[in-house]
Homo-oligomer: A and B are copies of this chain.
Amino acid sequence: MALRHAVLAALLNEELSGYQLAKAFDVGVANFWHALPQQLYAELAKLEREGLVAGREVVQDTRPNKRLFTVTEAGLAELTRFAATADKPSFIRDDLLVKVQAADHLDPDELVTRLLERAALADAKIELFGGLLRRMRGDRDEEDFLRHGDHIGPYLTCLRGLAFEQGNRDWCHRTAAVLRERRTTDVPR
């Protein structure tokens, strides 16, 4: 039951449509949660029924009309209540790690391919997040922004996303290197 809170948190600083929200939750702009459009539309409808968000129709002549959502008082109260609860530890859950876990029984070349694919993906995200951070802090440096700026929440979560992807990238390269090493120096099975 945390998707609802993720949606509320995402809507706090900007008024968004379901579609825009879906974009944000898709690529990874939301480095703290991930969800597909269908879930978001459904969740928004539920939140609206419960009065935690309020939607307003925006008529557009050039594009289909859309509904923009904002968090209500009740929504903020719900988030506050949520913030006071203990949270369950977070786990990594990753196809790629499953494959590496079985590395001793699989084709190393195949794995190295996967690892490099993933490393490239991580690189792309690193650049993306770097850009986002720069945009958020404007011309200030990080220390200054974090001490005196507004909307530091998204900045802080983005920092975690960045570190995560750097961790991913480093580990992928390291692991690929290990597997390549063994392929060349070890006797074949």
User: Which A residues fall within an 8 A CB radius of B?
Assistant: 2, 5-6, 8-10, 12-13, 28, 31-34, 76, 79-80, 82-84, 86-107, 110-111, 114, 117-118, 121, 146-148, 150-154, 156-157, 159-161, 163-164, 167-168, 170-171, 174-175, 178, 181-182, 185-186
Contact = CB atoms under 8 A, between A and B. Distances in A.
Contacts of A82: 98-99
Nearest to A174: B159
B178 A33 contact: no
A150 B105 CA distance: 11
Mostly, the A contact residues are helix
24 contacts: A2-B95, A8-B102, A9-B98, A12-B104, A12-B105, A32-B101, A33-B98, A80-B107, A87-B99, A87-B114, A90-B95, A92-B160, A100-B157, A101-B154, A101-B157, A102-B153, A103-B153, A147-B182, A148-B186, A152-B182, A156-B178, A159-B171, A160-B175, A164-B167
